Structures are given as C-alpha cells and as structure tokens.
Structure 1
Amino acid sequence: MLTDVQVAVLCDIGQSMAFSDDKHQELMRLITDGYVEKDGDTFKLTAKGEAAVVDRGAGLNEA
C-alpha cells in the first residue's frame, strides 16, 4: 500500500514537477517497486505508477 507521500511523489513526477530532496528515499523505493523509472535525466511514471495514482483517486491535475 502506498503512503500519501509516495502518491504525492508520483503526482509530482506525473506533472513533471521537481520534488524536494527529502522525498528522495520515497523516490528510490518507488523505482524499486516499479512505479517510476528513470528516463534520461528525469523520471517518469510506469503503467503501474499511473494506475496507482488513478486507483487512489488523485488525478495528476489535482495533486
């Protein structure tokens, strides 16, 4: 189960927003768990990450 912080990180990535260094540990866990992948110098949501955001009811434009 994802935490609210992890969902917030997913939403930030989905909106191509920068996130603070204090969320770095959450980002690494999301990568390990397959929700996020590195895309060059940036990060992007995987299909699993996008589904998690939708399942939590957090539209990318709302977070």
Structure 2
Amino acid sequence: MLTDKKIAVLCDIGQASSFDAEKKAEVLDLVVRGFVEKDGDLFMITPRGEKVLADRSAGLNES
C-alpha cells in the first residue's frame, strides 16, 4: 500500500520535470516498486501507478 506522500508524488509526476532531493528519493522508490518508469530524463506513471490513482480517485492535476 502506498502512503499519502507517495500518492502525492505520483500526482506531481504529471506536472513536474524535476524534483527536490526528498521527492526524487520518493520517485526512485516508486520506480523500484513499478509505479513509475524512467525514460531518459523523464519519469512516467506506469499502468500500475495509474490504477492506484484511479482507485484513490486522484487525477494527475490534483494533489
């Protein structure tokens, strides 16, 4: 189960191109867990991450 903080980071991925050190650590944890993937310098939400957001009724423009 993801914490509210990790859900907020998932929402931020659609809006941000860079992250501070604390959020980058959270993003990298989400990559390891399969919720986010890295493509070059970009981070993208995986279908697994999208499902979590849909299940939590959170959109990419909400946080």
TM-score by length of 1: 0.84
Counterpart of 2:44 in 1: which secondary structure?
strand
Counterpart of 1:53 in 2: which secondary structure?
helix
Is residue 35–residue 48 contact of structure 2 (8 Å, CA) maintained in 1?
A: yes
Counterpart of 1:44 in 2: which secondary structure?
strand
Letter in 2 for 1:42: L
Runs of 4+ in 1 over 4 A off after TM superposition: none
Counterpart of 1:43 in 2: which secondary structure?
strand
Work out the percentage of aligned pairs sharing the same amino acid: 55
CA positional deviation for 1:20: 2.2
**Count of equivalent residues:** 62
For structure 1, which runs of at least 5 residues remain unmatched after alignment? none
RMSD after superposition:
1.2
Distance across 2 between alignment mates of 1:56 and 1:62: 11
Is residue 9–residue 19 contact of structure 1 (8 Å, CA) maintained in 2?
A: no
Match for residue 60 of structure 1?
Answer: 60
For structure 2, which runs of at least 5 residues remain unmatched after alignment? none
Distance across 2 between alignment mates of 1:19 and 1:56: 23
CA positional deviation for 1:24: 2.0
Match for residue 33 of structure 1?
Answer: 33
TM-score by length of 2: 0.84
